[in-house]
Amino acid sequence: GVQMPLRKYADMAARSTTSETQNTAKVTQGNKWGYDLVQMTTHSPTCAVCSMYQGRVYATTREAANGKYKFKDGTVLRFPYLYDTAFASGYNTIHPNCRHRISLFAIRAYTNSELRHYANISNAPFEDTRSDEERKAYAKDQAEKRRKNAAYKQYERIKAALPDTAPKSFAGFVRMKAANSENYQNLMKDFRYVSRIANEQNGGIIREKGIVKANAIFVNKNDKLSRYAKKIEPIEGFDDFTCHANPDCFEIDVVGNGDPNDYVQYTPKEYAEIIKQSNSYKGRSIRIISCQAGAKKNGAAQMLANELGVTVKAPTETVSVDQDGRMFVSDNDVLAEMWFYSEDKSMFKETGTWIDFEPRKE
């Protein structure tokens, strides 16, 4: 039921089909040669699901799983059945896009002590065994992939809107964006202008003369954050403003489909003008519920405070908001997801915090 761009789906389908084909071939060849045990590869960093299954030895037949192999003293050597565990989904891979592969496990090539070792590992409880360092490494790896995917989608949108001025290649766009060159700044300025005009014509949430939102939530209604943010408990002396962000700028969905890759970036100066036009702005200190806006000393939050001339309270990491309006600041995607669905949220420790940025003259 997940919707994704055709290019991304094609990549996922090709990679997953290749994985299934290779794994199926290993099992088929093993049956011909008389091997009914396989071992799953091990990778790092890896996801929570794969961490449960990697490195283990599996039986590809019920006989091998139920005591076919024994030591000389008659002790039964058992291994989990592959299709009840790692491949229980019905596909010959752990999950779509999975990099893990199986290889034939020649039982005669191992000593009794080595086989007991593999049996102990393989029959251990199926749970996430990663360390905190491994979880952080995986979260960092996924964040980098999301960044690259977002950049590619951004390039596709810009090229569609400005075919005559957009770079001819994605590589060229990445270089100019990384350098934050004058050409890139001018390109984004033109793109924001075209997007606003198009959205105004389509009756979207942003008008060419600015945004006026009584609830100060600059998030499209298709985004679940627009519902959850309304339940956030206010704090004394601050007015809340909610939108998406990154350490350097703010982001608003001008397309209206709720896809993070369709957000248009606004500089702190531009967002300050949007806030000033809001019915909710009273000139008081503000708290911005905007992911990573306070990550940099002189980043989005500080620049916004300078523009507005008021104290801006901002989070240093990603902000998760649950159905009751409770917030959790963390750079760990896995931890944040566990927090979101947990009934006992007191057991989770935030890895980020909130910082007050005082206005100053640059």
Contacts of 346 (CB under 8 A, 6+ apart): none
- The pLDDT of residue 33 is 93
Instruction: Give residue 160's pLDDT band: very low, low, confident or very high (50, 70, 90).
Output: confident
- To the nearest whole percent, how much of the chain has pLDDT over 90? 42
Q: Residue 3 — very low, low, confident or very high, per pLDDT cuts 50/70/90? A: low
Asked whether the predicted pLDDT for residue 201 surpasses 50, the reply is no
Q: Model confidence over 297-319: pLDDT tens digits?
A: 999 999 999 999 999 999 999 99
Q: Which of 165-179, 197-211, 244-258, 262-276 has the lowest mean pLDDT?
A: 197-211
For range 329-333, the mean pLDDT: 85
| Burial letters 266-295, b for 16+ CB under 10 A, else e | bbbebbbebbeebebbeeebbbbbbbbbbb
Q: If 0-12 CB within 10 Å is exposed, 13-18 middle and 19+ buried, where does residue 234 land?
A: exposed
Q: Are 327 and 240 in contact (CB under 8 A)?
A: no
d(CA 303, CA 161): 29
pLDDT at 237 > cutoff 60: yes
Say if CB 206 and CB 193 are below 8 A apart: no
Choose the most confident range, by mean pLDDT, from 24-33, 131-140, 335-344: 24-33
Cis peptide leading into 234, omega within 30 of 0? no
| Phi, psi for 175 (deg, rounded to 5) | -65, -45
- Mean predicted confidence (pLDDT) in 85-110: 92
β-pairing verdict for 69-70 and 263-266: unpaired
Query: Given a cut of 90, is residue 164 above it in pLDDT?
Result: no
When mean pLDDT is compared across 83-87, 239-243, 251-255, the lowest value belongs to 251-255
Query: Do 322 and 337 form a contact (C-beta atoms < 8 A)?
Result: no
Helix, strand or coil for residue 151?
Answer: helix
User: How far is residue 19's CA from residue 13's CA, in Å, rounded to a whole number?
Assistant: 10
Q: How much is the pLDDT for 209? A: 34
**3-class SS of residue 320:** strand
Q: Confidence class of residue 258 from pLDDT cuts 50, 70 and 90?
A: low
> In 10 A of CB 213, how many CB atoms?
19
Residue 57, beta-bridge partner list: 39
Query: Is there a contact between 254 and 195 (Cβ–Cβ < 8 Å)?
Result: yes
- Residue with the bigger pLDDT between 214 and 228: it is 228
Give one DSSP letter per residue of 240-283, joined into a string: EEE-EE-SS-EEEESSSS--GGGEEEE-HHHHHHHHHTSTT--S
List, in sequence order, every residue forming a beta bridge with 138; answer none if it has no partner: none
Cβ neighbourhood burial of 184 (10 Å; 0-12, 13-18, 19+): middle
Report the 3 state secondary structure along 177-211.
HHHCCHHHHHHHHHHHHHHHHHHHHCCCCCECCEC
Q: How many CA atoms lie within 13 A of 230 on its CB side?
A: 10
What is the per-residue pLDDT across 105-132, written as a single tens digit (0 to 9) for each?
999 999 999 999 999 999 999 999 899 8
Residue in 140, 224, 143, 152 with CA at minimum distance from that of residue 4: 152
Element (H, E) at 39: strand 37-40
Strands 238-242 and 285-289: parallel
CB atoms under 10 Å from CB of 156, counted, come to: 16
294 contacts 329 by C-beta, under 8 angstroms: no
Compare 125 and 148 and report the one with higher pLDDT. Answer: 125
3-state secondary structure of 315: strand
Q: Is a pLDDT exceeding 60 seen at residue 198?
A: no
Percentage of the chain lying above the pLDDT 70 cut: 88
The model's pLDDT over 58-80, given as tens digits with 9 standing for 90+, comes to: 999 999 999 899 887 888 999 99
Q: What is the Cα–Cα distance from 206 to 349, expressed in whole angstroms?
A: 37
Average predicted confidence (pLDDT) for the chain? 85
pLDDT (0 to 100) of residue 299: 94
- Residue 40's pLDDT is 97
Segment 172-188, tens digit of pLDDT: 999 998 898 999 888 88
Q: Is the pTM higher than 0.75?
A: no
Task: Average the pLDDT over 95-112 and give the result.
Answer: 92
